[in-house]
Chains A and B, each alone.
Chain A
Amino acid sequence: MNVSSEPMVKAVNVHKYYGHNEVLKGIDLEVARGEVMCILGPSGSGKSTFLRCINHLETTNRGRIYVDGELVGCRESGGRLFELRDREICRARTKMGMVFQHFNLFPHMSVLDNLIEGPVQVLRQPREAAVERARALLAQVGLAHRESSYPRQLSGGQQQRVAIARALAMEPKLMLFDEPTSALDPELVGDVLAVMRDLARSGMTMLVVTHEIGFARGVAHSVVFIDGGVVVESGPPGEVLDHPRHERTRTFLSRVPG
């Protein structure tokens, strides 16, 4: 674990409302550089919403989120927060990769074109360099032979591995995973988790919303349990998963397999 003084992600008192419904009630959280953090919690607890606030797919109503030392989605001036423009937010997003539950690959593009779309169109990299790097990433996720396939010709597990490679093609400093294995058939989950495990070993900072307790136990450096829009407890997996201090955490863990 490569820990430098400044955390990769720092959330301070993050609030989020949908109308009058408060889904995040003041989240404070820090992710160190190179740290793998798993976020657990029942559905509707706000864990996915919080993850989506980090790259500003969801706007926040109160509080600050810093990624790599920079405030996300807002500009601070005179002690007040002002929402940024689309273009400014887009620039910040290139530092974070995101993997979705339903993969969200671009179905009208081949696997290779999915991978080079961001680097070529957004980062303005030369095409040859982007293709070379995309091929290396496909080999890394075990799909070197499928570069000219279209997403719909692949299994769910293969699609998710392509989605991870697509996010990595942007050379992000942080990877966000939003329930990456929840939409997969059970026998396909292992391949995706293996790719994520390799990525964790390579030192990538990862924030993973998941129900895979086994992955959290084996790979994560820290586990956060969120319920009702607040962090109920957090700590190393050995503590939170095996000796939870809170009743809500115990109840949740008793209902989740693994």
Chain B
Amino acid sequence: MAEPSDRVIPLRHYGRWVSGALVLLVLALVARAFALGQIDWPVVGQFFFSPVLVKGLGNTLLITVLAILMGLALGIVFAVMRLSRNPVTNAVAGAYIWLFRGTPVYLQLLIWFNLALVFPTVNLFFWKARMVDVMTPLLAALLGLGFNEGAYMTEIVRGGVLSVDRGQMEAASTLGMTRLMAMRRIVLPQAMRVITPSIGNEFIGLLKTSSMASTIAFTELLQRAQNIYFVNAKVIELLIVAAGWYLIVVTLFTLVQNRVEARFARGQSHEPPPGYWHQLGRNLARKRGPAAAAGSSR
């Protein structure tokens, strides 16, 4: 018999050890299957930094960044229209969302790419050209992904603006600000805090959706990987390379996202939010036990 004590002895969770071990076992089996499967791993290493694929990655990033910027610009404009008391602008913004959210982005890409079938020439009065020359794969991909993204962004921005208390607009008005200035200086910066996590998700979604632009001959990462395996037949190996690059970009982007969200969260918590590396360092250094707990409760 142990000494009598008023110390509470924590419950031991044997079930967690069992389920944890089972999951690790399954993971080990999957890893083993892939390691022994017919994958030519040296080919993966050989092509990982091949200039052709790195160039494709560059194009993927280019189209993603351009489309997200275009989507954000369209989103702000259409959100303001959607929130306006003018029934015409309101309805037009509604129709835009309905049209571009209601059709597959793949279909929209095909329409932009084949726009020459509808309008053989572009005529801007001072400048005239054949549509097939103007509508390059890059432009078609940008318009297709950008307009589609704008429709989603409109709803995100609108939600962000609506989340800002009405009193903010009133307080800005009493300082003599016009509606536009109050929107720019007071409402939108606060809406950004609500919007940024969603924009991050949209960026990651768009990064992957941009692979659809491969179908309209835009030479992004996946399309280039396919071009290589059509020649050397190392299908899975090149798809693994592409997957690796997508994962790397998403991981790096998450770090950036972390920083941006901390910036827009200014004034939200009682303490300034810790930076990412500071947070990481603290997480790594955190020890168990009362001594460490006393040290970390600053």
Which residues from chain A sit less than 8 Å from chain B, CB to CB?
A: 55, 57, 86-87, 90-91, 93-94, 96-98, 100, 102, 104-110, 117-118, 121-123, 150-153, 166-167, 170
Q: A121-B185, A152-B268, A153-B270 are in contact. Are A104 and B168 (CB under 8 A)?
A: yes
- Establish whether residues A118 and B179, one from each chain, have CB atoms under 8 Å apart when the complex forms: no
Partner of A107, one of B185, B267, B270: B267
- Establish whether residues A106 and B171, one from each chain, have CB atoms under 8 Å apart when the complex forms: yes
Say yes or no for B204: interface residue by CB 8 A criterion.
Answer: no
A110 CA to B168 CA, complexed, in Å: 15
Known pairs A90-B176, A104-B167; list 7 more (Cβ under 8 Å): A94-B175, A104-B165, A104-B171, A106-B168, A106-B171, A121-B181, A166-B175
Q: A86-B179, A87-B178 are in contact. Are A93 and B171 (CB under 8 A)?
A: no
Of the A-B pairs whose beta carbons lie under 8 Å apart in the complex, a sample of 10, sorted by A's number, is: A86-B179, A90-B173, A90-B178, A93-B174, A94-B176, A102-B165, A104-B167, A107-B267, A122-B181, A166-B175
A94 CA to B175 CA, complexed, in Å: 6
Partner of A57, one of B165, B173, B181, B268: B173
Q: Which residues of A contact B270 (CB under 8 A)?
A: 152-153
Q: Which residues of B contact A118 (CB under 8 A)?
A: 175-177
A96 CA to B178 CA, complexed, in Å: 15
A150 CA to B193 CA, complexed, in Å: 15
Q: How far is the CB of A184 from chain B (nearest CB, A)?
A: 16
A57 CA to B174 CA, complexed, in Å: 8
- Establish whether residues B268 and A107, one from each chain, have CB atoms under 8 Å apart when the complex forms: yes
Q: How far is the CB of B183 from chain A (nearest CB, A)?
A: 12
Q: How far is the CB of A74 from chain B (nearest CB, A)?
A: 17
Say yes or no for B190: interface residue by CB 8 A criterion.
Answer: yes
A91 CA to B175 CA, complexed, in Å: 9
Q: Which residues of B contact A93 (CB under 8 A)?
A: 173-176
Q: How far is the CB of B96 from chain A (nearest CB, A)?
A: 26
Q: How far is the CB of B185 from chain A (nearest CB, A)?
A: 6
- Establish whether residues B175 and A170, one from each chain, have CB atoms under 8 Å apart when the complex forms: yes
- Establish whether residues B186 and A106, one from each chain, have CB atoms under 8 Å apart when the complex forms: yes
Say yes or no for B94: interface residue by CB 8 A criterion.
Answer: no
A107 CA to B179 CA, complexed, in Å: 19
Smallest CB-CB A-B distances: 9 pairs: A150-B267, A118-B175, A104-B171, A94-B176, A104-B167, A98-B174, A122-B176, A93-B176, A90-B176
Q: Which residues of A contact B266 (CB under 8 A)?
A: 108, 150
A93 CA to B181 CA, complexed, in Å: 15
Q: Which residues of B contact A97 (CB under 8 A)?
A: 174
Q: Which residues of B contact A153 (CB under 8 A)?
A: 270
Q: Which residues of B contact A96 (CB under 8 A)?
A: 174
Q: Which residues of A contact B178 (CB under 8 A)?
A: 86-87, 90
- Establish whether residues B174 and A55, one from each chain, have CB atoms under 8 Å apart when the complex forms: yes
Q: Which residues of B contact A105 (CB under 8 A)?
A: 171
A215 CA to B179 CA, complexed, in Å: 35
Say yes or no for B170: interface residue by CB 8 A criterion.
Answer: yes
Name the residue of chain B whose CB is nearest to the CB of A150: B267
A97 CA to B189 CA, complexed, in Å: 23
Q: Which residues of B contact A121 (CB under 8 A)?
A: 175, 177, 181, 185
A151 CA to B270 CA, complexed, in Å: 9
Q: Which residues of A contact B186 (CB under 8 A)?
A: 106
Q: How far is the CB of A87 from chain B (nearest CB, A)?
A: 6
Partner of B174, one of A86, A109, A151, A167: A167
Q: Which residues of A contact B268 (CB under 8 A)?
A: 107, 150, 152
Which chain B residues (233-290) contact chain A, with CB distance < 8 Å? 264, 266-270
- Establish whether residues A151 and B177, one from each chain, have CB atoms under 8 Å apart when the complex forms: no
Q: Which residues of B contact A107 (CB under 8 A)?
A: 190, 267-268
Q: Which residues of B contact A110 (CB under 8 A)?
A: 267
A94 CA to B177 CA, complexed, in Å: 9
Interface centre among A106, A109, A151, by most chain B C-beta atoms within 10 angstroms, is A106
Partner of B170, one of A86, A87, A100, A152: A100
A109 CA to B268 CA, complexed, in Å: 10
Q: How far is the CB of B283 from chain A (nearest CB, A)?
A: 25
- Establish whether residues A108 and B176, one from each chain, have CB atoms under 8 Å apart when the complex forms: no
Q: How far is the CB of B48 from chain A (nearest CB, A)?
A: 43
A86 CA to B175 CA, complexed, in Å: 13
Q: Which residues of A contact B190 (CB under 8 A)?
A: 106-108
Q: Which residues of A contact B167 (CB under 8 A)?
A: 100, 102, 104
Q: Which residues of B contact A102 (CB under 8 A)?
A: 165, 167
A118 CA to B167 CA, complexed, in Å: 16
- Establish whether residues B175 and A151, one from each chain, have CB atoms under 8 Å apart when the complex forms: no
Name the residue of chain B whose CB is nearest to the CB of A170: B175
- Establish whether residues B177 and A90, one from each chain, have CB atoms under 8 Å apart when the complex forms: yes
Q: How far is the CB of A31 from chain B (nearest CB, A)?
A: 18
- Establish whether residues A108 and B193, one from each chain, have CB atoms under 8 Å apart when the complex forms: yes
Name the residue of chain A whose CB is nearest to the CB of B174: A98
A57 CA to B170 CA, complexed, in Å: 7
Q: Which residues of A contact B176 (CB under 8 A)?
A: 90-91, 93-94, 118, 122-123, 170
Name the residue of chain A whose CB is nearest to the CB of B168: A104
